Structure 1
Amino acid sequence: MFGYRVPAPDEAMLISGGKRQQGDAPFRVIIGHGAFVVPVFRKVEFLSLAMHESEVADTCVTRQGISLKVKAIIAFKVGNDLESIVNAGQRFQSDQAQMAVLTGRIFSGHLRAIVGSMTVEEIVTERQKLATAVLDTATPEMLKIGLTIDSLQIQSIDDMGAGYIDAMAAPHVAAIQRQAQIAQAQAKQQSAEAEQESARKQAEYGRQTAIVQAQYKAEVDRAQAESAQAGPLAQAHAQQEVLTAQTELAQRAAELRQQQLVAEVVKPAEADAERIKILAEAEAQRMRIQADAAASHDRVALDRMLIEQLPLIVEKAAQGMQGANVNILNGADGLGELAAGLVGQGLAILDAVKRDIDADKKPQIEA
């Protein structure tokens, strides 16, 4: 629309002329919306509300008399309130670039004053303290011209070749270098220890590997040796068992032969000797009986005596059979037959004795 003006978001529209004014301000301030401006009768100008920057690089003398070149950056803008806009508009509307120039000059003066009250050590080590002190002293003056400070940064401090800052930093640099050397030495030592430990572990691993390999080889060799000896050992063991069996068989054969010899030779010989002994005893008994009979001339007494001696004869015959190897084949009947044989043998001996006695007596009767 013709005559309708609208300011940018970071601008303040200043309308001068006419009777509509805001307080003591020589113009009307419009922010954030438009306004109708009557051509010819009203004049419109725009004041930037955006951020501005000013650089300060000045030579300052410290409390110790040492010259330092201090470089700082100031970020500022026109205040958002009506008073700040009016103050800034009255001073910088015709030449807004002068805001940065004037701001730099203001901060340069305050910076020199603050640096002059501090030592080099304080300025170098406490830059924020320096910046805060400068802001505190410069802010009231900046507000008077409608400007506000967003930030102040001390960019650099230089003693312009005097070497004071380097000398001041030398102990710290030396300490840092010493710490760096110590750290480097420790790192080297740790690296060497790590290498030694790695070598030791590798050697230990190699030793353990060699031991395991040797044990495995020994087991393999032992298994192979046992396998190689298994056949001959088994054969020798079998031969030994055969020899043992043969020896036992020979012993049994010898024992059997001994038993056969005892049954075939010793026992019959013993039985024959016993029989001869019995016959001899019978003969002696017969002689005694004959003598007794001759002495008594009593046949009845003789016969009775013979009958009484019959059990003794049978007993002697039985004792002769005691050591003989006699096999009874038919049980109780065989045992009865054996006893009957013994009795019969005793009766036969008794008859023989009677016949001998009778034979001896007949010549005597005939005589």
Structure 2
Amino acid sequence: MFGYRVPAPDEAMLISGGRAGRNGAPFRVVTGHGAFILPVFRKVRFLTLAMCEAEVSETCVTKQGIALNVRSVIAFKVGNDAESIINAGQRFLSDQDQMSTLTGRIFAGHLRSIIGSMTVEEIVTERQKLAIEVLDGSKAEMAKIGLTVDSLQIQSIDDMNTGYIDAMAAPHTAAIQRQAQIAQAQATQAAAEAQQESERNQAEYARKTAVVQAAYKAEVDRAQAEAGQAGPLSQAQAQREVIAAQTELAAREAELRQQQLVAEVVRPAEADAQRVRILAQAEAERMKIQAEAAASHDRVALDRMLIDQLPQIVREAASGLSGANVNILNGADGLGEIAAGLVGQGLTILDAVKKNLSTSTDETGIQQRRLPEKPGGTDA
């Protein structure tokens, strides 16, 4: 819009002409909004409200008479209130760069005054105290010209090669150096101990690793040896099993052969021997019977007939025994029992025949003894 002006956020618009401003100021202050300006009748100027900087490098004499070169930096600006803007506008509107120059001079004077009341030790060790006293001393003067100080920083303090600050710092430097040397020695010792501990740990780890590797190698070698021996061992075991089976088979074959020999040779021989014994017993019995028959005249014919028949009976029984497939459980004793049984049976038969014959003979004798009486009767 024609004639309408707006100041920047960090500016104050000063409008002169027309009615007077606040508190009799020759201009009206506008900040944060615009205003309509009548051409020709009004004049507009802008005053910066931005942060400004001033550097101060001043040679000051301390309370001890020692000259120090002090460098500092001041950060300042025009106050935000209308009174500060009016005061700064009346002094710096035409040449706003003068604000830094004037601020530096004001702070240089207060810096010399305050340093003159302090010792070098206080200045060096209490820089913050120095900055606060300079700010407090310059606050009223800065307010009169519409400026406010945000900060004051003491950048450096130099004794201009007199060596006072170095001498003052020498004990502290020596103590610090001692502490540094002690700390360095302790650090070196700690580093050496740490190195030794690390070497010990490495050696211990290497030892354990070697032990584990040796154990692992021994286990691998043992497994390989066992694997290498597994084939021969299994083969030997198989051979042992084959030999055991062959031995058992041979034992079974020997036992079977023994049984065959017993069945084929021993038992027939035992049967023949038993047959011979039976024949001998029969012959003895025959002789006995012959003797008994000789003693008894009446029974001679009968006994001889029995005696003649008895060996034949026994011989037939023995022939049947030698040709028969008889399983003898108890060897020669079993054959003896069979032969004795045959003889006993023959004797039993013989006894029965004798009894029958005796009865018949007796009856015949009785009859014979009775017969002679018939002829008498017959003759009669």
TM-score scaled to structure 2, two decimals? 0.64
Q: Which moved more, 1:236-245 or 1:59-68?
A: 59-68
Correspondence for 1:48: 48
Which segment drifts farther, 24-33 or 272-281?
Answer: 272-281
- Per the TM alignment, residue 73 of structure 1 is displaced from its structure 2 partner at its CA by 0.9
Q: Which amino acid aligns with 1:186?
A: A
- Structure 2, unaligned stretches of length 5 or more? 304-309, 328-339, 362-380
- AA aligned opposite 1:98: Q
Three-state SS of the structure 1 residue aligned to 2:107 is: helix
- The one-character-per-residue Cα deviations of 1:328-357 (angstroms, maximum 9, x if unpaired) are 79xxxxxxxx989854444447879999xx
Structure 1, unpaired ranges of 5+: 301-305, 307-312, 330-337, 359-367
Correspondence 1:143 to 2:147: no
Separation of aligned partners in 2, 1:5 and 1:272:
170
Q: Secondary structure at the match of 2:24?
A: coil
Q: Distance in 1 between matches of 2:235 and 2:179?
A: 83
Equivalent AA in structure 2 for residue 209 of structure 1: Q
Cα distance per residue 1:47-87 (max 9 Å; x no partner)? 33222111122344556666543322111011121111222
Q: Could you tell me which residue of structure 2 aligns to residue 248 of structure 1?
A: 252
Aligned-partner residue type, residue 27 of structure 2: F
Alignment partner of 1:215 is 2:216: no
Offset, 1:122: 5.4
Opposite residue 33 of structure 1, the aligned amino acid is: G
- Aligned partner of residue 80 in structure 1, secondary structure: coil
Match of 1:175 among 168, 173, 179: 179
**1:186 matched to which residue of 2?**
190
Aligned partner letter, 1:151: S
Other structure's SS at 2:23 match: coil
Matched, 1:92 2:74: no
State how far apart, in whole Å, the 2-side matches of 1:89 and 1:350 are. Answer: 184
Say if 1:5 and 1:37, in contact at 8 Å, map to a contact too. Answer: no
Deviations 1:284-319 (Å, cap 9, x if unpaired)? Answer: 58757987x79xxxx89xxxxx9xxxxxx9xxx9xx
Q: Which amino acid aligns with 2:150?
A: D
Q: Map 1:1-367 to 2 at 5 A.
A: 7-16=7-16, 19-31=19-31, 32-36=33-37, 39=40, 45-61=45-61, 67-115=67-115, 123-160=123-160, 161-162=163-164, 163=166, 164-165=168-169, 167-176=171-180, 178-179=182-183, 182-183=186-187, 185-187=189-191, 189-191=193-195, 193-194=197-198, 196-198=200-202, 200-202=204-206, 204-228=208-232, 230-231=234-235, 234-235=238-239, 237-258=241-262, 260-270=264-274, 272-273=276-277, 276-277=280-281, 280=284, 342-348=344-350
Question: How far apart are the structure 2 equivalents of 1:74 and 1:16?
Answer: 32
One-letter amino acid of the structure 2 residue matched with residue 182 of structure 1: Q
Q: Partners of 1:288 and 1:159 in 2: how far apart?
A: 178
CA contact (8 A) 1:131 1:153 kept: yes
Does the CA-based 8 Å contact 1:159-1:165 persist in structure 2? no
Partners of 2:54 and 2:129 in 1: CA distance: 20
Distance, in Å, in 2 between the alignment partners of 1:257 and 1:58 is 145
Tell me the distance in 2 between the aligned counterparts of 1:253 and 1:111. Answer: 140
Shift of 1:250: 1.8
Return closer, same or farther for 1:264/1:348 CA change in 2, 3 Å cut-off.
same
Paired with 1:287 and 1:30, the residues of 2 have a C-alpha distance of 189
Distance 1:113 1:265, change over 3 A: farther
Partners of 1:267 and 1:117 lie apart in 2 by 158
* Residues 246-302 of structure 1: per-residue CA shift (max 9 Å, x gap): 2332243234424544422234424543553465467558757987x79xxxx89xx
- Other-structure match for 1:334: none
- Give the Å deviation of 1:115: 4.3
TM-score, normalised relative to structure 1: 0.66
Q: Distance in 1 between matches of 2:29 and 2:155?
A: 37
- Partners in 2 of 1:156 and 1:121 — Cα distance? 14
Quick one: distance in 2 between partners of 1:107 and 1:29? 28
SS at match of 2:22: coil
User: Identity over aligned residues, as a percent?
Assistant: 42
- Deviation, 1:219, is 2.1
Contact 1:282-1:349 at 8 Å conserved across structures: no
Amino acid at match of 1:208: V
Rounded to whole Å, the distance in 2 between the matches of 1:121 and 1:287 is: 173
Structure 2 contact 11–50 (Cα < 8 Å) conserved: yes
> Aligned residue pairs: how many?
325
What is the Cα-based RMSD across aligned positions, in Å? 4.6
SS at match of 2:20: coil
Evaluate the alpha carbon distance shift between residue 274 and residue 131 of structure 1 in structure 2; reply closer, same or farther with a 3 A threshold: farther
The aligned counterpart of 1:365 is none
Is the 2:15–2:43 Cα contact (8 Å) retained in structure 1? yes
Q: Distance in 2 between matches of 1:10 and 1:135?
A: 24
